[in-house]
Every structure is written in C-alpha cells, then in structure tokens.
Amino acid sequence: MNIEQHPFEPFLPKNTRILFLGSFPPQLHRWSMPFYYPNWINDFWRIIGLIHFNDKDHFCNITEKRFNEADIRKFCTQNGLAFYDTATQIRRLKDNASDAFLEVVTPTDIPSLLQQIPNCTTLVTTGQKATEVISSTFNCPIPPIGSHIEIKIGNRPINFWRMPSTSRAYPLPINKKADAYRQLF
C-alpha cells in the first residue's frame, strides 16, 4: 500500500488565532481547488459562509462546482484562520476519503506549527480521526463534539475544540453543524 505525502503546505497567516486541523486531504480527483477542504461535497466552506455571511454559497461557484480559492484565502488571512492536518503521511486502506480507512503513518508536529503562529490560542479538529490524533499526541481527553477543553502544548495554554465533521457522511444537518461552529467563533 502506497504512502501518501501531504500535498499542501501549512496555511499559517501571521495573525493566526485559530488553527483548523483535519485528518488528510481526499484524493486529487475529488478536489475542486488545491486548498484545504477541497471536496465539493464537503460542507466546511458552506458552514463558514453561513456563519460569516449568512450565505452557504458565499465561497461557492455553483455552475463550476468548485470553491473560490482566492476568496477563501483572503478571508482566512484577514480573519487569522490557519489550516493544516494531523497527518503528514498516510496510507489509504480503501480507495476512498473516509477517515475510518486512513492509517496515519507520520503525525504532524503540532508544536512546530504553533511556534510559527505565536498568537494562536485555539486548535480545532474537524473530525474524529484528527481528534484522536490530537488526544493521543498530547495525552489529553477528547472533548464532547461542539465543545472544548484547555490543554498545554509546551508552556502554552491552547483551547482544543472538537467540532462535528463537515463531511456529508456525518449525519447532522448543515444548519446544526453551523450552530456548533458558531460557538467556536
């Protein structure tokens, strides 16, 4: 089974206050853009659109079935939202994007990421696999979905939020997911 290397560099604006961590990007053929949460049927950017613009299609180009990467990057940079994933190398145990069939080969060095974004106070996982990796890495409990706990990474206090998955496979309506993410913001 092939080991996949993470295809993106960490997106770490200088003013980062929130670091979002998923598990790993889906396969290339599922991308609608070369940026985080690229799968057209993943609702992450629709949730962000609902929360910040009251429009789930704010970052969408519906006719082309893709997200507006330039608008997303600009919004995230202006609002201090950083992105990476909890694995830099994985194996896909099945030919799909499901976290249930991802084997983490190399977890991300989260303390190293945080050193690059000194104003970041919040770490957010957007799915079960990412949450499990953070819990295992920092030997901390898993917060209930939609809530957070404080953890220490080095001497730094960090709010660790566990959010509902933005995958449509996660059985919660988009408005309910947006309500949970709204608590974070």
pLDDT score for 140: 95
pLDDT score for 95: 75
pLDDT score for 93: 84
How do beta strands 18-22 and 60-61 pair?
A: unpaired
CA–CA distance, 153 with 21 (Å, rounded to integer): 15
Identify the domain containing residue 20 by its residue range: 3-184
Cβ atoms 92, 102 nearer than 8 A: yes
Cβ atoms 82, 123 nearer than 8 A: no
How do beta strands 156-162 and 122-125 pair?
A: parallel
User: Residue 55 is which amino acid?
Assistant: D
pLDDT score for 58: 98
pLDDT score for 96: 67
CATH number at residue 180: 3.40.470.10
pTM for the predicted model, two decimal places: 0.94
185 residues of the chain, pLDDT tens digit each: 799 999 999 999 999 999 999 999 998 999 999 999 999 999 999 999 999 999 999 999 999 999 999 999 999 999 999 999 999 998 888 876 667 777 889 999 999 999 999 999 999 999 899 999 999 999 999 999 999 999 999 899 999 999 999 988 888 899 999 999 999 99
Residue 142, number of CB atoms within 10 A of its CB:
15
pLDDT score for 114: 96
Give the orientation angle of helix 44-53 with respect to helix 174-184, to 10 degrees. 70
pLDDT score for 99: 73
Number of domains within the chain? 1
